[in-house]
């Protein structure tokens, strides 16, 4: 009896090993495509996926425990579950899906201009001048003259002061998020090493232009900010679309 029980347990163990090591357990082409899209369009941020599976009945890829970025990055994006229905590539090389559904969305954006945009901060600081700057080509008003002889004291110019925002954090949560009939870039934009902020901005605009989403809906939304000069804040929305 003991020998029979041992043989039975051995057979079950062997079957389990064969099942998990067989080719059928490998990721499907649809799973590979979704993973390639997430990794390619994440702007170089690390992508971690807890598990994935393909559901032939709904033609959907289901990802559990998705995290993009980390605590030292400008963005950390997380989803408890991400379901991509009918993922495919368009003839033009874009990523397309009938729908993309996320649950327990949790995004943290760390806004730190001096760390992430040092070139822009330097340009702003260099542009500041102790003397007044004016708009629309107006002349500076000398001390003691109000320039209001014609009844319009502000025509002589307006002082402009640009300041750099201190670091702050924005936390964006949603119970669910839905994209319907989405066509999205497969990869992130590329920049020359010496590209300026303006050049990078226009490259992102060109990269984003082919994007199409017929419908976007978020439910159970909360937006919280921390570190702003006027204090922390939080706003909730039942639904956004």
Name the nearest CA neighbour of 98 among 19, 18, 180, 212.
Answer: 180
- Separation between Cα atoms, residue 111 and residue 220, nearest integer Å: 24
C-beta of residue 35 within 8 angstroms of C-beta of residue 21: no
**Unique residue bearing structure tokens 């079950």:** 12
Break the chain into its structural domains and give their ranges: 26-112+168-193+203-241, 113-166
Identify whether the C-beta of residue 66 lies closer than 8 Å to the C-beta of residue 38: yes
3-state helix, strand, coil in the chain (%, to 5): 25, 35, 35
Question: Tens of pLDDT along 51-60?
Answer: 999 999 999 9
For residues 61 and 53, what is the distance between their CA atoms, to the nearest angstrom?
A: 6
Q: Taking a C-beta distance cutoff of 8 angstroms, is the pair 169, 157 a contact?
A: no
Distance, first Cα to last Cα, the chain: 65
The topology (CATH level 3) of 26-112+168-193+203-241 is: lipopolysaccharide transport protein A fold (2.60.450)
Q: What is the pLDDT along the chain (241 residues), one digit of tens a residue?
A: 444 444 444 444 444 333 333 334 578 999 999 999 999 999 899 999 999 999 999 999 999 999 999 998 989 999 999 999 999 999 999 999 999 999 999 999 998 777 666 666 666 666 655 444 444 444 544 454 554 444 454 455 555 556 666 788 999 999 999 999 999 999 999 888 888 888 888 999 999 999 999 999 999 999 999 988 888 999 999 999 9
* DSSP conformational letter for 153: G
Angle between helix axes 197-208 and 118-127 (nearest 10 degrees) is 130
Work out the burial of residue 68: count CB atoms within 10 Å of its CB; fewer than 13 is exposed, 13-18 middle, 19 or more buried: buried
How much is the pTM? 0.71
């Amino acid at each position: 009896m003991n020998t029979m029980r041992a043989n039975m347990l051995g057979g079950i163990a062997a079957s389990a090993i064969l099942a998990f090591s067989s080719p059928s357990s490998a990721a499907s082409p649809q799973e590979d495509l979704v993973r390639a899209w997430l990794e390619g369009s994440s702007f170089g941020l690390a992508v971690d996926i807890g598990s994935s599976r393909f559901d032939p009945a709904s033609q959907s890829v289901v990802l559990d425990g998705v995290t993009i970025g980390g605590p030292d990055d400008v963005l950390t994006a997380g989803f408890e579950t991400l379901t991509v229905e009918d993922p495919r590539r368009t003839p033009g090389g874009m990523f397309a899906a009938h729908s993309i559904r996320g649950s327990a969305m949790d995004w943290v954006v760390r806004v730190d201009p001096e760390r992430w945009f040092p070139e822009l901060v330097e340009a702003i600081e260099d542009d500041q001048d102790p003397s007044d700057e004016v708009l629309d080509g107006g002349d500076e008003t000398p001390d003691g003259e109000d320039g209001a002889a014609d009844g319009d004291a502000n025509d002589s110019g307006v002082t402009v002061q640009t300041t750099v925002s201190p670091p702050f954090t924005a936390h964006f949560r949603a119970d669910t998020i839905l994209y319907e009939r989405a066509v999205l870039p497969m990869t992130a934009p590329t920049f020359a090493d010496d590209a300026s902020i303006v050049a990078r901005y226009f490259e992102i605009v060109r990269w984003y232009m082919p994007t199409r989403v017929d419908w976007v809906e978020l439910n159970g939304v909360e937006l919280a900010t921390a570190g702003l000069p006027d204090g922390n804040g939080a706003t909730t929305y039942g639904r956004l679309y």
